[in-house]
Amino acid sequence: MAEDGTCVHNPVPPLNQLIQVTSDEAFEIEGLFTPVVVSGVISTSSSHQSIACSDGVLDTVAGYNIVASRVEAYEN
C-alpha cells in the first residue's frame, strides 16, 4: 500500500483500470483501508502520478478522473 492509500500492483494495472479522485474539500476516514463511496463527475482524462513504494517510486497513469462532490464511508 502506498503512502497515499493507493494499492500498488506489479505490474501496474492498465490506465483503463485506474481512477484519480480529486476533491475541493477535505474528508476524513477511519483508516487507510476504509472503503468509501465517491459521488461526482467522472471523465476520461489521463493523469500521471508518481507513487512512493517501499522499494522506490512507481510512475502510474490513470485513465479516468472523478471530481468528488461527496465522499462517505461505505456501509453494506
Q: How far apart are CA 59 and CA 75, in angstroms?
A: 32
Range from 30-39, 53-62, 66-75 carrying the lowest mean pLDDT: 53-62
- Number of domains, the chain: 1
* Among the listed residues 60, 69, 73, 57, the one whose alpha carbon sits nearest the alpha carbon of residue 21: 69
Q: Within a domain: residue 47? A: yes
Mean pLDDT (the chain, rounded): 82
| Rounded (10°) CA dihedral 57, 68, 14, 44 | -130
Q: Within a domain: residue 42? A: yes
Q: Within a domain: residue 4? A: no
Q: Within a domain: residue 3? A: no
**Which structural domain, as residue segments, surrounds residue 63?**
15-73
Share above pLDDT 90 across residues of the chain, in percent, rounded to a whole number: 22
Tell me which residue has cell 477511519: 30
Q: Within a domain: residue 10? A: no
pLDDT of residue 43: 95
Q: Within a domain: residue 23? A: yes
pLDDT for 8 beyond 80: no
Q: Within a domain: residue 8? A: no
Q: pLDDT band at 59, cuts 50/70/90?
A: confident
- For 33, the 3-state DSSP assignment is coil
